[in-house]
Structure 1
Amino acid sequence: MNNLWQCLFVFSVATAFVMSENSNNDIQVTCGEQSVHVKWKMNQSMTGNPARLFLGSCFPSQFLNVSNEGAEADFHYPLTECEFRRTATWKYLVYENKLTYRPLPKPYPPSFTYTIRCVNERPKGWTPAFQSSSTGAIQDDFSGPAESSVFPVGSFVPIWAGVNQQAHQPLVLLLEECVASTTLEISPDSLTYPFIANKGCLVDGKKSLSTFLPRSHSSSILLHLQAFRFAVGQEVYIHCKLIAWDPDKLNDVKKACNYNKAIGEWELLDDPFQSSLCQCCDSTCGVRGKRETDSAPEGLVLKSVLGPLTITEDSA
């Protein structure tokens, strides 16, 4: 069974292997279950300034002399440090960082950059820990993970997202923005289709049957996304920005809005009597000022990637 649950914060892995965008005989990378070990043989220009070598935000753990071949910088750190970027797919957890040599401090660019990427198999039955977020394509009755990652155009992709609230104040989970993309990482060349935009407006619902469903709990959100004609037959990834927010402080930039075709108006998912918060969905939300920021104490900002999914023309 394809397990499509996606998790943002990762604390355990099963097996590991290494992927790099290029090869370099002077750099040796060993990915462990929870850490990475990098050995970097320095050339003459680097040995004069070895403290300018970095793995992400981390300095070398130690410097070693390697007989007559020169010196070596040794990095040995947990994958949760050094600003590793973590991405999850239904099968793998991907940790990525940059190895750089900066002869001059920032903002001067590095003179050398090398990508370090560790890809770990996700353990079966893994569930998120405190302050973690998870998202997934699930069965129509929301009873478990979807058995298939293939969805015909017009069918519904049931999507669930949740945040663990143990030992934390009550939070309401919001999908601030979501886009479909043909790439695991979005770049300027990526083909994209936004379906949640403008700070929580399900804009795809104006032209389809996509809708937020009534909540079973404030810390989770359910979405019936009608499969649209986008990158048919290709791998599609769903990129979402999630906000875990104080439920008593919803506003026009922290909300979840459906479009009600019957009355031709936007409605607030959590309280239709406050649907005035959704009036900006057809214009621009958040023009009142910048009094609230993503780092405000009322909530948490999370990111997650779901996929790959495949949208097909086949209605069978």
Structure 2
Amino acid sequence: MSGVTARIVVERRGVDVAIEVATGECVAVIGPNGAGKSTVVEALAGLLPIDAGRVVLGGTVVSDQRRTVPAHRRRIGLVAQRPDLFPFLDVVGNVAFGPRAAGVRRAAARARALRALAALGIDDLAGRSPDALSGGQAQRVAIARALATDPAVLLLDEPTSALDVSARDEVRAALRTAIGGRPSILVTHDPVEVVALADRVVVVEHGRVVEDGTPAAVLGRPTSAFAAAFSGLALVRGTATAGGIATDGGGELASGTHAVPPGRPALGAFHPTAAVLTRDGAGPERTVTSLEPRDGLVRVRAGDLVADLTLARVTALGIGPGDAVHADVPASELAVYAPRG
């Protein structure tokens, strides 16, 4: 089974994305809303024509300037946000629908459906009606339905985003089984999903790939603002010094994790809860630009620096937009590294 090689150009959406997925690899595609992620999925699935480029799935050219293979002939297994099971078919009938639509005889399609359900550990649901399933059960049936078509490629389009938190773990386990050596593309807004499922991460912004690397590299040492926010980190840009980073906004931060020669472009990453704000203390001086509620804390944005503080601390400081503060980060909490590429 071959992987995916694609360059997807859709001019009216401002998208020009190249992506490769090796056999057995799961690539997570992340990015802000409107970045082009859905365009990539639709083009790969055959639901959207491309203006330029080429899509190769499983060793077969399915889109280029001369031809476009229709969606039903692409051997794509698509798992979307919602399962959309047929209410008039039982579970095994839903899972067997794909093979039947491809011309497989009824008995063989049913056998294939039962194998897919068993592979995910939900063969006990075979005779149930879709309206008798929980959200997590229905999504696992949708995964089995994709598997039953013997897809060359799996497209996972935010497969757990519509589920309760309690159901996500069991669906992720089913997805790990489904991926099983199959080239897969995962579109998600969930960092846990990336860590649990992906071998590689591609970050798309404004219709272009801006980062590509392992989850550890992209989430641990992000180079784009979106990847930093996605991983829960704050990112500061500047120039490496002997002991840290001279920030583009002015001032220097010390770092205990530092391997960039002085004078070179550098990035600094830290968790916003590690930042220390004072009215008159250590660290670069900045002007507060906004206060935002954030997971029980208050996110204070001050130029290129960010701090997550308790409401009590913000009240004690008496700060608001327009006020001057000093922002510092303990050296042990700041990683300074070179931009990739």
Higher relative contact order (CA 8 A, sep 6+): 1
Q: What TM-score, normalized by structure 1, do the two folds share? A: 0.29
Higher helix share: 2
Rg comparison, structure with higher value: 2
Q: What TM-score, normalized by structure 2, do the two folds share? A: 0.28
